[in-house]
Amino acid sequence: MTRRFGFEPTARETYLALRKDTDSPLYLAVREVLTDLLDSPGSSRLRQRRYRPDTWDVPVKTGDARWLILWRPSGSDPDLIGIHYVGPAPGEAP
């Protein structure tokens, strides 16, 4: 099994911007969640809050930053995980 991500354009841009500072605690926290998604997308930690249709959010907290990753398994490809949003949680400053 070779799981992979399919990023929405805005989510990809945000992630690539974070990746420019590989020592950033926020980047490290986001990367940890994404790694966990590849390893175990069925984990209850990654499926705490569900939206329709089958979209999940994963909170990312580091220091005083609160971000979210919204993701959804692909309906047509069991190895594809769609990343729809990477960014500040509602009410948080970018």
Q: Which of 3, 41, 18 is closest to 87 using CA atoms?
A: 18
Q: What is the CATH number of the domain that holds 65?
A: 3.30.2310.20
CB burial of residue 81 (10 Å; 0-12, 13-18, 19+): buried
User: pLDDT for 41-84, tens place per residue?
Assistant: 888 888 888 888 789 999 999 988 899 999 999 888 989 999 99
Cis check: omega of the bond before 53, within 30 degrees of 0: yes
Number of domains in the chain: 1
Is 94 a domain residue?
no
Q: Which domain holds residue 34?
A: 4-88
Is 43 a domain residue?
yes
Q: What is the model's pTM?
A: 0.90
Q: Which of 39, 59, 61, 40 is closest to 48 using CA atoms?
A: 59
Is 72 a domain residue?
yes
Is 93 a domain residue?
no
